[in-house]
Structure 1
Amino acid sequence: MSFTDQITRAAAGVPKIAVGVLLGILVLGVFVMGFDQGQLFSVAQGEQAYEDMWMHEFYHDMRHAAGFACH
């Protein structure tokens, strides 16, 4: 076999599994942001979760830490 008989194939592009994982993270993030007013923790905490709003406070503080004005 000579060198001229060999074919090199270069694979370029983003792996589909990486795109799927990132889309999954995006969907989960949108879900959490959409229900950050106590909906997620109300299963475990009951009505107290609507007053505490743990996820809302977490994202609120993260907005301030990142330097974005949110109110």
Structure 2
Amino acid sequence: MKVNIIRTTLGVLILIPVFLLSLWMRKKKALRSTTEAHEPEEIELDSDPDYQNDSHTAAQTEDTEEQGDMV
């Protein structure tokens, strides 16, 4: 009888820290997800693009290559 009481008491004493640890982890995860959701994202808007419209240049290159193939 005493052994059963001791076993039950130890079981409860072990479950309490496990329960508290799970609550702490859950709270930590919830705080992390809320802070990440509200952080502003940095979007860099570049008024001068690094690319140019090379469609005219590309068309000239293709014409030159086609003329070279015909010869």
Do the structures match in fold with TM over 0.5? Answer: no
- Higher Rg: 2
TM-score by length of 2: 0.34
Query: TM-score under structure 1 normalisation?
Result: 0.34
